Structure 1
């Protein structure tokens, strides 16, 4: 009887231990990334991926102002030549403003992201969503049509013609 109790206790506690371990690893990675950025002496040497990772950490923790501040600060201090990266920055800032129900500013940042990288699906989804939340159904449907068109063109397989050797 005691063995059955131990087996049941182990079966119950094992998934809980796995969840706790995964969360601890996730928190450790976040803290390590933040520490690496903090120890960097030259702000120009920080990789854009690290900045976006930190912004994502702040978004997951619902620290909207911290996310906006770090992205705005980094955009002002460095020259970002990649429009896709700049579009992601604007998209994250728009997401933060949308999360605190400031839809006009969020729309402006989503439009900036759209102009920098018009083929990014996440930006199109966010822009359509903010138009829908703002009550602009016509603009939301236009953006949804662009998103559907983008999905259709990406899913069309390329056709290759095979010539038969006679």
Structure 2
């Protein structure tokens, strides 16, 4: 009887330990990223990967305004040559506005991201989704067709 009790307790505690470990790992990664940002001499030394990581952290914590202001600040700091990075920033800002149900502004930022990087699948998905939400099915279908053609090109190139 005692062995069954131990097995049941172990089965209950293992998933809890797993979840706690994952959360501790997530917090550790956040602290390491913040240390890297803090140790940077100026704003331009912060890597785009770290900025996007912090933006995702803000988005997970539903700190939309913090995410938007941080990304807007870094958009102005980036060289014009880094078009894909700027597109990712615009896409994240669009996600923030979409999450707060401000669809018109989200659509504007998705369009800015699309203009910077028209072949990025994540941007195309978000733009099609915002068109669908706002009832603009014609543009949503056009974007979906472009997304399908990009997927077909990727599939053909992999073969």
TM-score bracket, normalised by the shorter chain, equals over 0.9
- Runs of 4+ in structure 1 off by over 3 angstroms are none
Superposed displacement of residue 117, structure 1 = 0.7
Gaps of 5+ in 2: none
TM-score normalised over the length of structure 1:
0.90
Distance in 1 (CA, whole Å) between partners of 2:156 and 2:82 is: 27
Superposed displacement of residue 38, structure 1 = 2.6
**1:144 alignment counterpart:** 144
1:14-42 C-alpha deviation (Å, 9 max, x unpaired)? 12111111111111211221232133231
Q: How does 1:9-158 map to 2 (within 5 A)?
A: 9-157=9-157
Q: Which of these two proteins has the greater Rg computed from alpha carbons?
A: 1
Gaps of 5+ in 1: 160-166
Alignment: residue pair count: 159
Answer 1 or 2: which has greater helix percent: 2
Root-mean-square deviation over aligned CA pairs: 1.4
Instruction: Decide whether aligned partners of structure 1 residues 80 and 157 sit closer, same or farther in structure 2, where only a CA change above 3 A counts.
Output: closer
Superposed displacement of residue 43, structure 1 = 0.9
SS of aligned partner of 2:81: coil
